[in-house]
Amino acid sequence: MIPMSLGDAARYAEGTITSPAAGMLTAAVTDTRQITPGALFCAIHGARVDGATLAGQALAGGALAVLTENPAAALASGADPARIIAVRSVPEAMGKLATANLALARQHNRDLRVVAITGSVGKTTTKDLLAGIAIERGEVVAPPGSLNNEIGLPLTVLRVGPTTATLVAEMGADHIGNIAYLTSIAPPDVAVELIVARAHLGEFGGIENVARAKSELIQGEVRGGTSVLNLDDERVMNMRQFATGPVLTFSPAGNRTADVYAENVHMDEADRAVFDLVTPGGTRHISLGLVGAHHVANALAAASAALALGLDLDAVAGHLGAHAASPHRMDVFTPKHLSVTVIDDAYNANPDSMRAGIRSLGRIGRTGRRVAVLGAMLELGDASAREHASLVAPLQEAGVSALVVVGKEAQPLAEAACRAGIAVRYLDSVAGTQDAVTDMLKDGDTVLIKGSNGSNVWRVADALREA
């Protein structure tokens, strides 16, 4: 964060503060456990706790000031009025602060570049890959995990300081207008569009609206910025009309008309992709450390964005090959006391990513049974029952013989799989799932764990890792 006084912070946030205390803000947090000296505690009013009631605790713990829409509660908690910035909405104020912080950072460092990534699947993996490559430019700020909404994005932007060389931002959406708002905070110099797929269909009302929402990234980039587009996705390529600067295309399918594409793709014994990365500057052989063929697309997108930043091709190739899986994202491991292989892809799911995970299970599971533990895919609206039931065909193709289905929304999958002759165990919540899975596993089995984050099947993966 660019250091700023409490008075300046209140002005940027369009808030008020009475006789602001001395000192400079140097960080912003929403969790009292993350407070450091000089931090601004952004007191989010959550579903269970109003952060304003923790204001006194935050200041006692070392925070310099509190951002709140409930100053009365902050005062009642023992907060010093000279350290309370009162605003109409904390998330909106965080966005305004982040906008100001990025503008100040650009003044400090004219070489600072912002890369923003969106897409229905692959955002976080692409972000992680690119952040690893961009270290070649100097200090990188990127969100841990998937902080890509109206709170997570400002928190990430508020970490940008005077020495930051690259901000790698992830931008998500479940409504039209979400990404437009995020780009108003952090207009990207390089905008990366991965794919338009069937995520949040219930919120958007159809895939064309998903495409419309994702196109806001291109419309929100800085004038003359570079647009990185997936040539294999027609809806993504339609976004070219919004580009005001160079367009760089990539093709996981190996379309040679793309600027960056993959050739000679094959999977090794651990289902990790090996391919030739073809670029305008030459070809490099890549062996990904990530499990699943779908990561070829993420690697190409990251490579394209890195090249748009002017990074060396050899550095790009080296970092792509060195990147390992992040937790709950196609992370393959063997539990300490179980002779099984676990494919942990439990971070999130939609119909397309679910099929990709099931295909990987079919390729990795060469001995023993192939077992799937599938949580519900959420926010699919009227398409939910149909999309869940449609997973039976890929399960059969992958040779899955035992299935655990978790969540009421996923019950149509359990019913369809049972009719298809797959051995099914159905649970309406994650409670008891760990025991059910452990009891059914046999030596040599390979098990895929995948579902929407809200299905909580990631808890099963964590329990197996610790078992």
CATH number where 259 lies? 3.40.1190.10
How many other C-beta atoms can be found within 10 angstroms of the C-beta atom of residue 414?
A: 24
Does the residue 33 lie in any domain?
yes
Only one residue has tokens 């998330």, namely 91
Verify that 119 and 206 share a domain, yes or no. Answer: yes
Residues 68 and 179 both lie in one domain? no
Give me the CATH number covering residue 361.
3.90.190.20
Q: How many domains does the chain have?
A: 3
Q: Which one of 91, 123, 148 terminates a domain? A: 91
How far is it, in rounded angstroms, from Cα 452 to Cα 32? 28
pLDDT (0 to 100) of residue 200? 55
| Structural domain includes residue 102 | no
Q: What is the CATH number of the domain that holds 73?
A: 3.40.1390.10
| Residue 103 falls inside a structural domain | no
Give the pLDDT of the chain (467 residues) as one tens digit per residue. 999 999 999 999 999 998 999 999 999 999 999 999 999 999 999 888 899 999 999 999 999 999 999 999 999 999 999 999 999 999 999 999 999 999 999 999 999 999 999 998 889 999 999 999 999 999 999 998 778 899 999 999 999 999 999 999 999 988 899 999 999 999 999 999 999 976 655 566 678 888 999 999 999 999 999 999 999 999 999 999 999 999 999 999 999 999 999 999 999 888 889 999 999 999 999 999 888 888 999 999 999 999 999 999 999 999 998 876 677 888 888 888 888 999 999 988 889 889 989 999 998 888 889 999 999 999 888 889 999 999 999 999 999 999 999 999 999 999 999 999 999 999 999 988 988 898 889 999 999 999 998 999 999 999 988 86
In a shared domain, residues 280 and 187? yes
Q: Against a cut of 0.85, is the pTM above it?
A: no
Helix crossing, 123-134 with 313-322: angle to 10°?
A: 130
Distance (Å, whole) CA 442 – CA 174: 40
The closest alpha carbon to 286, from 322, 252, 259, belongs to 322
Please count the helices (runs of H) and the strands (runs of E) in the chain: 18, 21
Domain identity same for 294 and 393: no
Question: Do residues 279 and 230 both lie within one domain?
Answer: yes
- Predicted confidence at residue 292, as pLDDT, reads 86
Q: Are residues 290 and 367 in the same domain?
A: no
pLDDT of 203 reads 64
| Domain edge (last residue) among 42, 60, 91 | 91
Q: Which residue range forms the structural domain that includes residue 18?
A: 4-91
Q: Are residues 314 and 356 in the same domain?
A: no
| 367 lies in the same domain as 458 | yes
Is residue 64 domain-resident?
A: yes
Q: Is residue 43 part of a domain?
A: yes
- 244 & 339 share domain: no
In terms of domains, do 303 and 367 share one? no
End residue of a domain, out of 301, 322, 343: 322
> Does residue 20 lie in a domain region?
yes
Q: Do 132 and 258 reside in the same domain of the chain? A: yes
Do residues 406 and 438 share a domain?
Answer: yes
- Establish if 176 belongs to a structural domain: yes
CA separation (Å) from 209 to 196, 221, 281, 291, 379?
A: 10, 20, 36, 31, 14
Strands of 292-399 (E only): list them: 331-333, 341-344, 370-375
Q: Is residue 101 part of a domain?
A: no
